[in-house]
Amino acid sequence: MSGLETRRFLIVTGKGGVGKTTVCAAEALAIAHKGKRVLVAMCNAKERLSAMFGSDLIGSEPMNVAPNVWAVNMTPETAMEEYGMMTLNSKALYALLFDNKYVRSFFAAVPGMHEWAMLGKAWWHTTEKRDDGSPKYDVVILDAPATGHGLDMLRVPKVILDVAPPGILRRDAEKAWVLFQDAKTCAVVLVTLPEAMPTQETIELAAAIQSELKLPIGKVVVNCVLPPLFSREERAALEGTGMGPGATPTTPDEAAIQIGAMRSARERVQAECLARLSAELPVSPSFLPQLFEDAARPEAIARLARRVG
């Protein structure tokens, strides 16, 4: 786990479609197996996590989905309501203010408020205590939005600190920002694929996270890595046959060669991407294998958890 289980807050992000939620599930299960209590917080997601744990559908209230693992699917509206209740500490006062359609319209129009409501709620779960005073959750894993939206969300606390006057909102944003920037308490986990576009986006995302936000990158996970079937010489021979994706095989032998050439080309791109990621990122990437069965199943997540753990 590279020490991730010792952090209080993990931010998992990457290009859409790279398997962020799958990695969140695997990391959560691996950390839970170490005896830690873990909460996975999704951001208004098209809910797939329940299938990965074999649980009921996950809603806006934290629910137990596996031993030592809880999950919540935050929505901006519900998160805003909960944040209002927490900060005002009065249901009557909250109803007086937030049940007013004009107040609701105002907050909906404030740039970043919906993002802060969800990010702030996820951070707030790190502050919750059990009856004995111990943390309710040892680790909170934020399944953050995809690259661009994820960056926008992570910028919000800094924007609040830059523009908000002293008060509850600024106080909470400052506490969250301190936690996020401390490598002992927080880590960003970047998820990518061994393909050209996700690799480029991951390198650019890492640069923005480090230079602009100064958040600690704790891990890079390359998902869907193929086991190599061919040597470099074999790849060169296969790709030199001219039987690439655009070719039309006329015999079974040519069809077999085409399949080999296409696999060879993918392996070549994968090798190039892994070399770039290793050379240009601040931490050495770890790899999860390509699963040739449905990854959104408890058995598959258990296999991946053993790999990340």
- Pairing type for strands 69-74 and 63-66 reads antiparallel
Q: What is the pTM of this model?
A: 0.89
User: Shortest CA distance to 248 belongs to which of 258, 237, 239, 240?
Assistant: 258
Cα 179 to Cα 186: distance, rounded to the nearest angstrom: 6
DSSP element (H, E) containing 182:
none
C-alpha pair distances (Å), 226 with each of 178, 230, 268, 287: 39, 11, 11, 10
Spell out the residues 6+ positions from residue 112 whose beta carbon is closer than 8 angstroms to its own: 152, 155, 156, 159, 160
**Quick one: CA dihedral 195, 196, 201, 206, positive or negative?**
positive
Q: What is the pLDDT along the chain (309 residues), one digit of tens a residue?
A: 458 999 999 999 999 999 999 999 999 999 999 999 999 999 988 889 999 999 999 999 999 999 999 999 999 888 877 766 666 655 554 555 555 564 455 455 555 678 888 999 999 999 999 999 999 999 999 999 998 889 999 999 998 888 878 887 789 999 999 999 999 999 999 999 999 999 999 999 999 999 999 999 999 999 999 998 888 888 888 888 887 777 888 788 888 888 888 888 899 999 999 999 999 999 999 999 999 878 889 999 999 999 997
The CB density around residue 7, as the number of other CB atoms within 10 Å, is 25
Q: Are 71 and 45 in contact (CB under 8 A)?
A: no
End-to-end CA distance of the chain: 5
| CATH node for 4-227+282-308 | 3.40.50.300
User: Shortest CA distance to 54 belongs to which of 44, 46, 45, 64?
Assistant: 64
Report residue 243 CA to chain centroid gap: 38
| Extents of the domains making up the chain | 4-227+282-308
If you count them, how many residues does the chain have? 309
pLDDT for 249 equals 83
